[in-house]
Amino acid sequence: MDFLVPRRAILSVTDKSGLVDFARALSEKGVELVSTGGTMKALREAGLPVTSVSDVTGFPEILGGRVKTLHPHVHAGVLADKDDPAHMATLAELKIKPFDLICVNLYDFAKAAGKGLDLRAAVEEIDIGGPTLLRASAKNFHSILVVPGVAHYGRVLAELAERGGFSLALRKDMAAETFRLVSAYDAMIAAYLSGRDA
């Protein structure tokens, strides 16, 4: 897919800088916003229409928030290759709507680790759903745009305003940046765990 017109997006961010303006620009282009927890609350307080991930999955957030987005109704919509008729037929058969944009930034593990938390408490600050969504959407950049942080909002919105959608070049660049970011996040956690007693 050379050009992607967004219709549906997941926004789930720790750093909410610029979130409302970013989400509003998407919503004004007719993009359905899907979100979780604090992100969803911020969007609703700003008067934006937003669908809960729990409404998409038909399943509540569980295990103290450890499991929210880890569900086929989310990840099939993220990982479906829109150029593959079999993938799209499967989504249609299972009544799963595809996603076109994933905007995620991760729990600030470095900040949590710097608080001197004990190991068990620090482990709770390791993001699982976020990196999973980032990796899945980065892998599938031919069909989806991943936005891995606030620094990219301007470029994404500029292309949306100018062209009404997203080029393959932008999607590939964002995928590469996402894999760099997730790799650095994993390396930071590995270094932290290696320096701590069990």
Scanning 104-167, the segments in alpha helix (DSSP H) are: 109-114, 119-123, 129-139, 153-163
How high does pLDDT run on average in the chain?
Answer: 93
Query: Which DSSP letter does residue 106 get?
Result: -
Q: Tens of pLDDT along 184-195?
A: 999 999 999 998
In the predicted structure, residue 112 carries a pLDDT above the cut 90: no
Q: Which region holds residue 107: left if phi is over 0, alpha if psi is between -120 and 50, else beta?
A: beta
Residues in contact with 137: Cβ distance below 8 Å, sequence separation at least 6, in sequence order: 78, 99, 102, 144, 145, 146, 175, 178
Q: What is the mean pLDDT of residues 150-158?
A: 97
Cα 8 from Cα 175, distance rounded (Å): 18
| CATH classification (class only), 3-194 | alpha beta
Query: pLDDT (tens digit, 9 = 90+) per residue, 23-63?
Result: 999 999 999 999 988 999 999 999 999 999 999 999 888 88
C-alpha distances out from residue 138 to 43, 66, 191, Å: 24, 22, 24
Calculate what percentage of the chain has a pLDDT beyond 90. 75
Q: What is the pLDDT of residue 6?
A: 98
